[in-house]
Amino acid sequence: MDSQAKHIQLRDKIADAHVPVSVVVLTRNRAPSLARTLAAVRAQSYLDFEIVVVDNGSTDQTADVARAYRARRIEVDPRFGIGHCRGVGVNAAQGELIAFCDDDCVPSRDWLAALVARMTEDARIALVGGKVINIGFTGYRRFKGRTKLARNGGLNYAHSDEETEFYGNMNVAMRRQTILEIGGYDPFLTVLEEIDLATRVRRSGYRVEYEPLAVLEHHNAGVFFKSRRFFYGVQLMRLYFYVKHHRPESSGGWLEFARYEMGLLVRDLIRVARSFGAALLHAKPERLPIIGVELFNLFSARLALPWLLYQAQKRANWERTMVDAQAALQPDSSS
């Protein structure tokens, strides 16, 4: 199907849809890239939307760029993580639907129309992921934006649409009220926040769908939004997600978890050792502090498991309370 035919198909699907949308863009110190993103958003064929820029502590011209493209800018202290920032975006949004688009992305003209068309097909669809075209990425990172669950809370990149279980936040739409009903984004998470959200969406009886016509280019910006945090704790977030959603219920389950976790630790230690050797071999002493922090994180995350169990259980209980409260407000269909 050529682009003109796709456009006509989308136009027909949303002919009767007048759903207000909030396009939420997270950013930090990427003013030129943000301008490119907002220009593409403003050029959308679907017109009923606002733009909300969540600024995680920018010190460049981000405020000027947001103003130039008539976007509402919400400032967030840079100490807060991605999960918190996305939650700020959800709370600030005024649209019935929310579409997330990162500041290193360029959505196609019909991107928003495609997301709206799919979201309005069925009220049980709470989250829709779009097609991501990664530009400037090499190796496994060519598959950024689509993942599948691995053991012990890990993720693998999915190489096809069929095996994809989760969609990246750089191209996803959601029903705002539903997301709020299930507790929104978990502010504890600095990665895996979209995986946690999609997991809870499905467990609450809603659907997560894929829309291939919602196309977006994802450009390698060189400096990553998250990379500034030395103590970023990817391992910590992985274990938190695991005990929150896949906590073993038997001693045998915990033993299997521990056995596999030991294998992961050995693998990671070998990788860190190789990085250390490469830094020495190529005379790159500036890499040594980063390697040291990574080594610290490998051990501290595992040692923090009892604390993670407590934090995950507390958050999960609160989210269940939110879901139960919303269910109690629903009319009784049997009466």
Task: Encode pLDDT of 186-200 as tens digits.
Answer: 999 988 999 999 999
**Could you state, in order of their start, the residue ranges of all structural domains in the chain?**
3-219, 234-329
Give the pLDDT confidence score for residue 133 in this predicted structure: 93
Residues counted in the chain: 335
Judge whether residue 7 has pLDDT over 60.
no
Task: Encode pLDDT of 286-328 as tens digits.
Answer: 888 888 888 998 999 999 999 999 999 999 999 988 888 877 7
Q: How confident is the model at residue 223 (pLDDT cuts 50, 70, 90)?
A: low
Nearest CA to 306 out of 254, 269, 268, 260 is that of 254
Q: What is the mean pLDDT of the chain?
A: 89
- Lowest-pLDDT choice from 2-6, 75-79, 225-229: 225-229
3-class secondary-structure state, position 313: helix
Q: Are 138 and 157 in contact (CB under 8 A)?
A: no
Give the pLDDT confidence score for residue 227 in this predicted structure: 46
Name the helix (H) or strand (E) containing 311: helix 305-329
Residue with more model confidence, 8 or 47: 47
Q: What would the CATH number be for the domain defined by 3-219?
A: 3.90.550.10
Chain centre distance of CA 107:
16
The pTM of this model reads 0.88
